[in-house]
């Protein structure tokens, strides 16, 4: 169901959902993500301004569409339960069943990243790119290692899914996005970074010249990296 109807969410319904819920994420405008008492997640999307693009096609709807398309492509992600629009507001929300697993960032903190995980991760990113999935928010906090040793994606609003493999320039941009998280890269270490890229090249379906171009553009140099912001 790639077009999902939205349901009105009244202030009373919202207050009922909030009762006993845990705020997982918030910003200056208020709570953004709740863990509800039934273990589902309510994620709030607030448009940046009245004239922003997400007032025409909400980020909540993009989130739902991406989840459904990823499922069709066989990429594990959250299960959408309901799309909401707040009554009397431009805000929207998604109710979903979370994906069970551990983020790669948490595994890094636990020093639990193994060479096998790195090999699997390189192959997984290659699979995403070959399937035409451009996940702009691809980083170690948005990739889960599940109990069945497969990878899955979360926080998937900022994504395009094309009907063809990603171009080399788009792949480079995607890797540079990952490299912006300097602390992740340092904890990962050179050997693990190399293992990920070796596995990626093995599974990416690129020519030798394409592989050489990609590797030359994404060579990580810690002393040149700015702090995360």
Structural domain contains residue 114 = yes
Encode pLDDT of 57-108 as tens digits: 588 999 999 999 999 999 999 999 999 999 988 899 999 999 999 999 999 9
Encode pLDDT of 151-160 as tens digits: 999 999 999 9
Statement to judge: residues 112 and 220 lie in one domain: yes
- Single residue among 97, 121, 153 that ends a domain in this structure: 97
Statement to judge: residues 81 and 137 lie in one domain: no
Structural domain contains residue 1 = no
What pLDDT shows up at residue 53?
56
- Single residue among 97, 130, 149 that ends a domain in this structure: 97
Statement to judge: residues 112 and 80 lie in one domain: no
pLDDT under 70: residue ranges of the chain: 1-3, 49-57, 221, 223-229
Sheet holding 79-86, edge to edge: 6-9, 79-86, 92-97, 41-45, 30-35, 22-27
184 neighbors 175 (Cβ within 8 angstroms): no
Structural domain contains residue 229 = no
Calpha distance 125→203 (Å, rounded): 9
Statement to judge: residues 119 and 213 lie in one domain: yes
Structure pTM? 0.89
Calpha distance 78→127 (Å, rounded): 19
130 neighbors 138 (Cβ within 8 angstroms): no
Q: Where are the alpha helices (DSSP H) in 52-109?
A: 59-73, 104-109
- Tally of domains in the chain: 2
Statement to judge: residues 114 and 172 lie in one domain: yes
What pLDDT shows up at residue 15?
96
- Residue ranges making up the domain that contains 71: 6-97
- Single residue among 97, 126, 148 that ends a domain in this structure: 97
What pLDDT shows up at residue 2?
57
- What does the angle CA 153 – CA 140 – CA 218 come to, to the nearest 5 degrees? 110
């Amino acid at each position: 169901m790639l077009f999902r109807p939205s349901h009105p969410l009244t202030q009373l319904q919202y207050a009922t959902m909030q009762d006993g819920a845990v705020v997982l994420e918030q910003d200056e405008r208020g709570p953004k993500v709740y863990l509800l008492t039934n273990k589902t997640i309510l994620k709030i999307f607030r448009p940046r301004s009245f004239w922003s693009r997400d007032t025409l096609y909400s980020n909540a709807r993009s989130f739902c569409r991406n989840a459904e398309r990823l499922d069709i492509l066989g990429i594990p992600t959250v299960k959408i339960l309901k799309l909401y629009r707040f009554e009397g507001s431009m805000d929207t929300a998604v109710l979903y069943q979370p994906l069970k697993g551990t983020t790669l960032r948490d595994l890094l903190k636990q020093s639990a990243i193994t060479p096998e995980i790195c090999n699997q991760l390189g192959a997984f990113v290659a699979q995403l790119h070959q399937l035409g999935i451009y996940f702009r928010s691809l980083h170690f906090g948005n990739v889960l290692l599940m109990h069945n040793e497969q990878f899955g994606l979360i926080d998937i609003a900022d994504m395009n899914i094309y009907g063809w493999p990603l171009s080399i320039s788009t792949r480079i941009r995607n890797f540079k996005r990952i490299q912006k998280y300097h602390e992740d890269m340092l904890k990962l270490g050179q050997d693990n970074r190399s293992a990920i890229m070796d596995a990626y090249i093995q599974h990416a379906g690129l020519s030798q010249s394409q592989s050489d171009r990609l590797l030359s553009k994404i060579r990580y140099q810690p002393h040149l990296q700015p702090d995360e912001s």
